[in-house]
Each structure stands twice: as C-alpha cells, then as structure tokens.
Amino acid sequence: MSTVWKRTDFKNKIKADLAKQGIRKKVSYNGEGMEWLRSLETDSINDYLDMVEALNDPIERITKEIKKEARATEEAKLLMTIPGIGFVWSLTLTTELGDVERFFGPNEVPAYAGIVPSTEQSGSKEVHGSITKEGNIHVDFSGCRTPLPDFIHMTPPYIFFWASDKKVLTAS
C-alpha cells in the first residue's frame, strides 16, 4: 500500500506544481496526459512523472498477485461478495482474523479491530467516547481507510458467513 501512496504523493506534487504555474487542469496519467505534462518541460514535473512511471509496474505486478491470491482463497471470495469489500481487504481480514470460530460472536470482531467506542461508566452515568484504537492495527487500518458505510451498518452475522463450516455465527 505504501507504494500506491508514494505514487499518489508524486501525482499531488505534480498538481501543486501546475497550480504554482497557474494551470488548473484535471490531468490523467495515461499516454496523452503524460505527453502533455512532459510538453510543459518543467524539471520538477518531469522528475515526478519519472517516479510515477517507475512505481506503475511494481504496483500493477503486486496488484495482480493480490487479486490472484484473493480469487484462490475461498474465504476471501466469500468476503468479496459483501458490498464494499474488495480483494485487498478480504485478504487482510482472512489473514489477520484467522479462524473466525475463535470469536464467540460477531460483536467480538469490532472489539478485536479496536473500532468500538470507548465507554466510561460510574454508577448510573455512562459516557461513550471515540474508538478505542487498541485492537489489531492491520484490521483497523484497512477498515478505517475503506469506504464501508454499507458494511459497517450491515447485520453482523453476514460478516461471518465465510466461516470454514459455512454457518452464520450469531451474537452471544
């Protein structure tokens, strides 16, 4: 993922350099867009373009490998049937969660990921705060940076449909 972020950083730097030159144009990074950017003959933009091009091949190769692995993993294929879960997050979940049967119910997974609200209780007073961020960093990281409005509000047992014995786990 950091390779993709680096490439995005370079694209953002190109956009910033264009803005400094007073150019406000949406640029695509395909053949024509790259040619137009190179025709500006700006050293910094050309350097950034070189970096973008250098990162494209490894990103494509790694993406193909991840897709191939996700398609070969039964659990990942089942997870990808849930709206909002693609090949990267499905592999992250299957790898980081491991055997889902170790969880007693679907409410334990958000706690494991550290994406449940903190709660402070004293007598009859109960205050809910921000998420705890004390769970598995990889599950939290991938989930919090993935647009998942449908997934977050989904009935929890669907998340566990991919359990090895194909049964739906229910909350305790």
Per-residue model confidence (pLDDT) at position 128: 77
The whole-model pTM stands at 0.60
Per-residue model confidence (pLDDT) at position 164: 38
Task: Tell me which residue of 43, 56, 63 sits closest to 6, measured CA to CA.
Answer: 56
Per-residue model confidence (pLDDT) at position 167: 41
Boundaries of every domain in the chain: 2-71, 73-162
Cβ-based burial of 120 (10 A; exposed 0-12, middle 13-18, buried ≥19): exposed
Q: What average pLDDT values come out for the chain (172 residues) when binned by 10 residues? A: 86 94 88 91 94 92 91 87 82 80 76 73 82 60 48 45 40 37
Per-residue model confidence (pLDDT) at position 13: 94
